[in-house]
Amino acid sequence: MQLILNAIASAAVLAPAAIGFTLIFTLFRYTNFAAGALMTAGAFAAWQMNDLGLPIWLGGICAVAFASGLLMLSDRVVFEPLRGRSGGTLLLVSIALSVIIDNVIRFAYGTQIRAFDLPLRPPLTYAGLRFTPETLSVIGISVVATLAVGALLAFTRLGRALRAVADNPSLSSIRGLPVPRIEAAGILLAGALFGLSGTLAGLDLAIEPNLSWALTIPVIAAAIVGGLGSPLGAALGAVIIGLAEELTVAFISAPYKGAVGFVVIALVLLLRPQGLLGRAVERK
């Protein structure tokens, strides 16, 4: 049971970012390897605000805004000029972007490990489970965010338009949709989700520049397992990755945790290229 709770907590950290990654993938058909770096940038933004005296929830909001703006900026500077290039090219560019963001963070903050300034509270126990109040917040915030994005995509005008553009951008322009504006909204939303995940990671884990590497692969794995389509799929993918990681820690050895994402990606690509929930992704 403790294992399942831990898995859900890791899933809660990964889920918003996995949804953001899925959003970028469906809109632009590339693997944004900078997911972890953007999350880390968000975590540091939240830490910085927290360090300046803002309460952590305000720091989180700043992180959401910061990561959103950072993804938008990187899109305008690097991805937009390369629109239409192959997914492989954009993957390489996003790896480079990730390295740049990581190093800027390292340069500014060093490799020291940091944590949010949170009131010290004893862990709670309930039905034999041990958890911190932060764990509960992480899970709660993540569930709310996942449902909110799901509802946005399913029921709002912007959500429909985002799905339409992801489905067929050319037809979208023909039908009078302002595609660049809708794409921009998608980028801002995805960036915000990276920032949120970064803040949650900061609550759940330690804040350090190496966070980036620890997060990127699980996020991408969760998105792929989830089928690269719906936000609920991505959230479910996050739960599966969280479980796989906790099982690895429990039954194999903690250092292998980092390999779980790679193994899961390889397995999914071999056995079920469309993901667990997804339909085949159309190649263009």
Partner 1 sequence: MTRLTLDHLNVGYGGADIVKDISLSVGSGEIVAIIGPNGAGKSTLLKGLAGVARVTSGGLEVDGTDLVPLSPFERAIQGVAFMPQDRNVFRTLTVTENLETSAWGHDDIRARMDEVIALLPTLSGYLNKAAGGLSGGQRQMAALGMTLMSRPTILLVDEPTAGLSPNLVGEMLDVLANLTRHAGIGVLIVEQNARAALTRADRAVVLVDGRLRRVGPAAELAGEPDFGALFFGDHA
Residues at the contact surface with partner 1, assessed by CB under 8 A: 157, 160-161, 163-164, 166-168, 170-179
Provide the minimum distance between the beta carbon of 21 and partner 1 in the complex, in angstroms, as a whole number.
18
Provide the minimum distance between the beta carbon of 279 and partner 1 in the complex, in angstroms, as a whole number.
8
* 83 vs 130 by CB, closer to partner 1: 83
Provide the minimum distance between the beta carbon of 15 and partner 1 in the complex, in angstroms, as a whole number.
21
Query: What SS3 state is found at 186?
Result: helix
Provide the minimum distance between the beta carbon of 169 and partner 1 in the complex, in angstroms, as a whole number.
10
Secondary structure (DSSP) of 133-185? HHHHHHHHHHHHHHHHHHHHHHHSHHHHHHHHHHH-HHHHHHTT--HHHHHHH
Among candidate residues 69, 90, 37, 82, the one with its CA nearest the CA of residue 187: 69
Among candidate residues 122, 120, 140, 117, the one with its CA nearest the CA of residue 47: 117
Provide the minimum distance between the beta carbon of 146 and partner 1 in the complex, in angstroms, as a whole number.
19
Which residue is associated with the tokens 């940038």?
41
Strand partners, 126: 129
Question: Quick one: which H or E segment has residue 3?
Answer: helix 2-28
Provide the minimum distance between the beta carbon of 120 and partner 1 in the complex, in angstroms, as a whole number.
48
Residue type, 191: G
Provide the minimum distance between the beta carbon of 164 and partner 1 in the complex, in angstroms, as a whole number.
5
Alpha-carbon span 255 to 49, nearest angstrom: 32
* 86 vs 173 by CB, closer to partner 1: 173
* 118 vs 154 by CB, closer to partner 1: 154
* 151 vs 206 by CB, closer to partner 1: 151
* 2 vs 156 by CB, closer to partner 1: 156
Yes or no: say if 71 and 38 are a contact pair by the CB < 8 Å rule: yes
Query: What SS3 state is found at 101?
Result: helix
* 130 vs 181 by CB, closer to partner 1: 181
Question: Quick one: which H or E segment has residue 126?
Answer: strand 124-126
Label residue 65 exposed, middle or buried (CB < 10 Å: 0-12, 13-18, 19+): middle
* 103 vs 168 by CB, closer to partner 1: 168
CA of 251: how far to CAs of 254, 256, 264, in Å? Answer: 9, 10, 17
